[in-house]
Structure 1
Amino acid sequence: MRVQQLVYIAAAEPDPTAPVPSAPPVPPGPGETCRNWGLVCCSGQSDGTDEATTSPILVGPRQHAHSITGHSRLRPSLSALYIQREPEPAVSSQLAHRSLATNQPDRVRTSSSFVAGSAPCAAMEQEEARAPLLQPQPRGGAGETAAAGGTKAGRARRAAVEWWVESKKLWNIVGPAIFQRIALYGINVVTQAFIGHLGDLELAAFSIASTVVAGFNFGFLLGMASALETLCGQAFGAKKHHMLGVYLQRSWIVLLIFAAGLTPTYIFMEPLLLLIGQSPELSRLAGRMSIWLIPQHFAMAMLLPLTRFLQSQLKNWITAVTAGAALAVHVVVTYLLVQYFQLGIVGAVAAADMSWWLVVLGQLVYVVGGWCPLSWKGFSMEAFNDFWDFIKLSSASGVMLCLENWYYRVLVLLTGYLKNAEIAVDALSICQTINGWEMMIPFGFLAATGVRVSNELGAGSGKGARFAIIVSITTSVVIGLVFWFLILYFDDRIALLFTSSEVVLAAVHKLSVLLAFTILLNSVQPVLSGVAIGSGWQALVAYVNVGTYYLIGVPLGIILGWPLHLGVGGIWSGMIGGTAVQTVILAYLTVKCDWDEEAKIASTRMQKWAADLK
């Protein structure tokens, strides 16, 4: 805190014989005579703590004015400042206010005269004509009680304002992230709808190609791109903007290398399906579709880092606009290729490829076209620095999210081995479709939480990261409770959107409670995964996912489904148990985490990698 000026206040009955002490004297206590003391109020800036200032700032004569410089705990509320009067000639009975800096009479300089950057103390100026400047208050009196109440009210208002500010920051990311995911998901839904009108075999082939092969690869690439979310978010918070462009290029290189390594899963799709016992017709058609999905595969490797690069800088609207525009174009182009030009499944898949690349080009032009001047400095060979460390973080991220992405796909696979599997799979597919659409909201919170936590840690604010987590989890849980109630209320009636079969509706009725609690649990678990991404815990969470999902959830589901004869409900219940255990572990890690230490770790990482770029 820096002193700019000192306010001098002369009392009505000055004592010119009062000696000037050699050291700042002790101020009078409550109720004592304030003969040689003037009183002025000032406001200061909080140091982020909730503790009130319990003692006034003591300043003696001018030679002791330095005492104020050591006081750093001013709250943003009125505080008393005692200033000892120097000997002066007598003045009139009216209060004479004089600034030592300007010598202007009849004026009190408040707040800004003492603390740089603080707001004027208007309340003091308004009350000075009506109340004595020094009015003793008995200890525990009405004035003290009112001050205590005002402090509590002020804390409540400040907490509400902080919550509102953090919520605005959160929703500025969540809203566009949800919209983008829905739009990209809508591209595949539109493609599936057009292919479904071509025939059942075509629909089954596209479902296998897009869900099994493309779904697996998308989950892995999505996880690898989350490493960029960690690093770009922390670099942006630390205001090392030039590092973001280098991280983006590094992520492109890593993801394109891994995308090339995963390409054989598309090329050899047909023999793989034949190996696991699928029909030759289905295997041949699915293999053909897989080849046409390769351009989309590489588009994902380019798009996922771009999206995280922009999200970490809070440029979220461009991600939503490009995805929405691509979806609109996709509907028109798919109709033309499939219905007008009669290109069939090839036309539908080619339209999807084109739409994904349209999103990539839109965001790429925005980045390299000059709209990110601080973070994009052009292509650089510095992208190859610390390459191995980046690969390790990206690989851990890929494993972490891929294990999550594949977990509930195992549920569908296991259900296919039950008796009367057709009805069970139909009911489960309806439930998973509903859950998939609702999951776009938690996935939006996953992205937003990762960005907010990484930004705060990069800025060195462990407290800010903790507060962002609290706001994000609370908001997501409230939304989850709304959907939980809606699912329980509508029960199997929500399945009427997909089927009119009484048998399937009855099966959905039995699964609706599990669907409701899955949605409720998913309102917490993805947010905690976002915390892990923002903090760089991907490797640790990958081990947690292996243990809870595949060593607890899947075996428990198998036991409940077959030996205990609970069917699809038992399998699903067991897998919910695995997710619950994982959520509890991540919640424990989050609560017990020393966020100030995490901020130091992030700062050290930024300094190290920034030094390597020089």
Structure 2
Amino acid sequence: MSRRHSLAEELRRANSTVVSGDDFAELALLHAAREEGRSHSRYGSVASENDGSCGDGELLLEAPNDNKKKDRRLSLIGETELLKDELKSTITLAIPIISTYLLELIPGIVTIILVGRADHGSASLTQLYLDAAALANMWVNITALSTGFGILSAMDTLCASAVGAKQYSKMGTFLLTGLCIISAVFGVVSMVVWKTDSALLFLRQPVLPATHAGTFARWMLPGIPFLYAYEIVRKMTQARGQTKPMVAAAIVSNIVNAGAGYYLVNFTEMKWLGAAAARTLGSISLLPTMLIVLYYSEEAEACDISTKEWAKHVLSGMKASSALTWKAIHKFLSLGIPGMAMLMFEWVAFEVVALLCGIIPGDHEAIVAIGSNAIVFNISSLLYMVYLGTSISGNVRLGTALGSGDVERATIASYITIGLGMSLSLFNMAVILSFRQDLCTLFTSDMELIEKSKSLLLVVALYQFPDAVNAVEQGVYQASGRQALGAKLNFIAYYIIGLPLAYLLAIPFGAGVGGLWFGMTIGLCFIASINTFVILRSDWRTLSMDARKRLSISLPRES
């Protein structure tokens, strides 16, 4: 059989069968061979006299409609395979990240438990120390953690793009730039945390709790730079798809925090301040544990080189001549400052909600509102870790695709991230509605608080959907370098719509704490709708060019 007859037969067989992903390369070669070996005609081609086919110039007819169907089928199969691969990768990465964030919630809870269950000699002292510990935690979260973690969100954008583009030495540049910037941030943050008592008194908090909170916060201060350093390294490893080190670090940190806290609170003269010292020790343990596990770990889903080779590339990129220039610092801050604003707008908004609970008319109603709000806020925060982990996973997958110039994968990654967020919110809504009673009894045995919290959880269940969508879409914004847009929309959602509406519903209209949560839900529904519209209309090729421009490399041209 002649070569042309053989090729035609192969193409006819391809048209009549379902093609798997492994056949794509072969079919592409066949198609290229066919195009090269014929003279173009609208309906067919005449074989050359000397191309090895029959010498009488036989006509090889094509079936344009069949070829179009085949092309559509191949395109559909390719998109389906890509969708499956991206969905699997996103979920595989999300599970350990979610686990890590859940583990990182535990130290704050353990701190409160250690203070609350210690023998202070009287109920009044126990309440005083509990209030002081809660105030100190709140102040450190708002001033130190939201600031530092927000600035370092620039690493999410930059590292994922660098991994996608296989520019691993760039991660060393970003590491050195980030360390220098966060050191300067800590210099400011440390002064603010050191003056916690003065700041709380300025905000008209009760004198004794504010004064004791200042002491508690100062014991927590030495652990903050270690948290920052751990956060930087974690963002680098998770960009590679390497999650074992951060899970191990979170587990060890919890063991250190709980063990040291129990000993210091109950068997030393530190008493309740031992809980703060233990929190610092737990924070200090994070980085060395992570580095040790990282040294012995070779697993890295998104990276094609070993950990040791990757580390060499990172170290080679840590040059002051490139990392400490105005251009490098400006690039980092242009992403980090809006990222900080995104985080702070959200965290501060819910502290304002807690404060508004205290001015609900009626002393008893205000006390019940404060207690029930604390219960449902903790439940919602626990569920939020699921959305946050999914957001980070989507951030990594999308950022990697943008950095590699894979526009199609980037588009699919953004859709998968949003779809997972929506699905998880519906699951969590079902959990809340099914186990309202059980969830509330985990926090208190007071029947009035339980009943109030149960009714409040109905609103919190509705809140899950926009909260999840907003969380994962912030991850999409971070991956594509659009933190500034996310910060602006967060400000509008929380401070232009959410909080004013929450106040109106809760106080003038008498809806109480339920009105506060309903107002915040409306605000988040607004931002979720706008974010979804923006993301669905995104030009991913342009965003990929922007990502690669941040790495100073060009996007391959379309063929």
Q: Distance in 2 between matches of 1:319 and 1:182?
A: 12
Letter of the aligned partner of 1:403 in structure 2?
Answer: F
Deviations 1:347-377 (A, max 9, x none): 2211111111111122345668973335422
Provide the rounded CA distance (Å) in 2 between the counterparts of 1:358 and 1:245.
23
The range that moved more, 465-474 or 400-409, is 400-409
Letter in 1 for 2:372: A
User: d(CA) in 1 for partners of 2:111 and 2:3?
Assistant: 79
Q: How does 1:538-549 map to 2 (within 5 A)?
A: 538-549=483-494
Which residues in structure 2 correspond to 1:296-335 (within 5 Å)?
Answer: 296-335=223-262
Alignment of 1:274 with 2:201, yes or no, is yes
1:124 aligned residue: none
Which residue of structure 2 aligns with residue 212 of structure 1? 139
Equivalent residue runs for 1:243-282 within 5 Å = 243-282=170-209
Q: 2-side partners of 1:551 and 1:394: how far apart?
A: 23
Paired with 2:169 and 2:53, the residues of 1 have a C-alpha distance of 62
**Structure-2 separation of matches of 1:175 and 1:296:** 27
5+ residue gaps, structure 2: 119-125, 297-306, 555-559
Amino acid at match of 2:345: L
What's 1:571 paired with? 516
Q: What's the CA shift for 1:491?
A: 3.1
Aligned length: 515
Deviations 1:451-507 (A, max 9, x none): 111111111122211101111221222121111112122334421111222211221
Preserved CA contact (<8 Å) 2:4 2:53: no
Question: Is 2:92 aligned against 1:165?
Answer: no
- 2-structure distance, mates of 1:301, 1:488: 37
Post-superposition shift, 1:509? 2.6
Corresponding residue for residue 605 of structure 1: 550
1:146-167 deviation line (CA, Å, top 9, x unaligned) = x96x988876665543333112
CA distance in 2, matches of 1:511, 1:139: 62
Of residues 390, 396, 399, the one that matches 2:332 is 390
Please state if 1:405 is matched with 2:344.
no
Change (3 A) 1:88 1:209: closer
CA distance in 2, matches of 1:229, 1:271: 35
Residue 9 of structure 2: SS of its match in structure 1?
A: strand
* Letter in structure 1 aligned against 2:425: G
Query: Equivalents in 2 of 1:88, 1:312: separation in Å?
Result: 53
Letter in 1 for 2:84: W
CA contact (8 A) 1:57 1:82 kept: no
Change (3 A) 1:332 1:83: farther
1:496 aligns with 2:441: yes
Conserved? CA contact 1:549–1:582, under 8 Å? no
Cα distance in 1 between the residues matched to 2:265 and 2:511? 44
Separation in 2 of the partners of 1:490 and 1:10?
Answer: 69
2:314 to 376, 379, 385: 376
In 2, distance between residues paired with 1:529 and 1:136? 53
Q: Is the aligned partner of 1:361 residue 2:288?
A: yes
- Alpha-carbon distance between aligned partners in 2 of 1:286 and 1:311, rounded to the nearest angstrom: 35
Q: Counterparts of 1:400 and 1:365 in 2: how far apart (Å)? A: 33
Q: Which residue of 2 aligns with 1:550?
A: 495
Query: How far apart, in 1, do the equivalents of 2:335 and 2:186 lie?
Result: 17
% same residue: 21
Q: Which has the larger radius of gyration?
A: 1
The aligned counterpart of 2:272 is: 345
Q: Which amino acid aligns with 1:357?
A: I
In structure 1, the partner of 2:9 is 39
**Under a length normalisation based on structure 1, what TM-score does the superposition of the two structures give?**
0.76
In structure 2, the CA distance between the partners of 1:516 and 1:10, relative to structure 1 (3 Å rule), is closer
Write the distance in 1 (CA, Å) between the matches of 2:93 and 2:175: 19
2:304 maps to which residue? Answer: none
8 Å contact kept, 1:39–1:83 = no
Q: Tell me which residue corresponds to 1:461.
A: 406
Q: Which has the higher contact order (CA 8 A, sep 6+)?
A: 2
Asked if residue 526 in structure 1 is aligned to residue 471 in structure 2, the reply is: yes
**Structure 2 counterpart of 1:359, one-letter code:** L
Q: 1:68 to 1:324 in 2, by over 3 A?
A: farther
Identify if the C-alpha distance between structure 1 residues 437 and 56 changes in structure 2 by more than 3 Å, giving closer, same or farther: closer
- Displacement, 1:524? 1.0
Q: Give distance in 1, aligned partners of 2:287 and 2:518.
A: 39
| Secondary structure, aligned partner of 2:508 | coil
1:281 offset after TM fit, Å?
A: 2.1
For residues 429-451 of structure 1, what are the alpha-carbon distances to aligned partners after superposition, in whole Å with 9 as ceiling and x for unaligned?
A: 11111111111100101111111
Residues 40 and 86 (structure 1), Cα distance of their counterparts in 2 relative to 1, 3 Å cut: farther
Specify the alignment match of 2:213 in structure 1. Answer: 286
Equivalents in 2 of 1:89, 1:291: separation in Å? 87
Residue pair 1:228, 1:308 contacting (<8 A) in 2 also: yes
8 A Cα contact 1:525 1:583, kept in partner: yes
Distance (whole Å) between structure 1 residues aligned to residue 194 and residue 255 of structure 2: 30
- The amino acid that maps onto 2:112 is Q
Shift of 1:81: 12
Q: Is the 8 A contact 2:197 2:210 kept in 1?
A: yes
Name the CA distance, whole Å, in 1 between partners of 2:53 and 2:193. Answer: 95
Contact 1:241 1:375 in 2 (8 A): yes
Amino acid of the structure 2 residue aligned with 1:562: I
Distance 1:226 1:447 in 2: 10
Higher helix share: 2
Residues 1:579 and 1:47: Cα distance change in structure 2 (over 3 Å): farther
Change (3 A) 1:69 1:151: closer
Relative to structure 1, is the Cα distance of residues 479 and 388 closer, same or farther in structure 2, using a 3 angstrom cutoff? closer
For the 8 Å contact 1:303–1:359, the answer to whether it is kept is yes
Amino acid at match of 1:481: L
Q: Say if 1:296 and 1:357, in contact at 8 Å, map to a contact too.
A: yes
Provide Cα deviations, 1:540-574, integer angstroms capped at 9, x if missing partner: 22122222210111111111122212111112211
Distance in structure 1 (CA, Å) of the matches to 2:172 and 2:78: 37
2:108 is equivalent to residue 193 of structure 1: no
The residue that corresponds to 2:431 in the other structure is: 486
Q: Which amino acid aligns with 1:307?
A: R
Match of 1:376, SS state, is: helix
The Cα shift of 1:209 comes to: 0.2
Q: CA RMSD in A?
A: 3.7
For the residues of structure 1 that align with 2:223 and 2:367, how far apart are their CA atoms?
31
Matches within 5 A, 1:587-598: 587-598=532-543
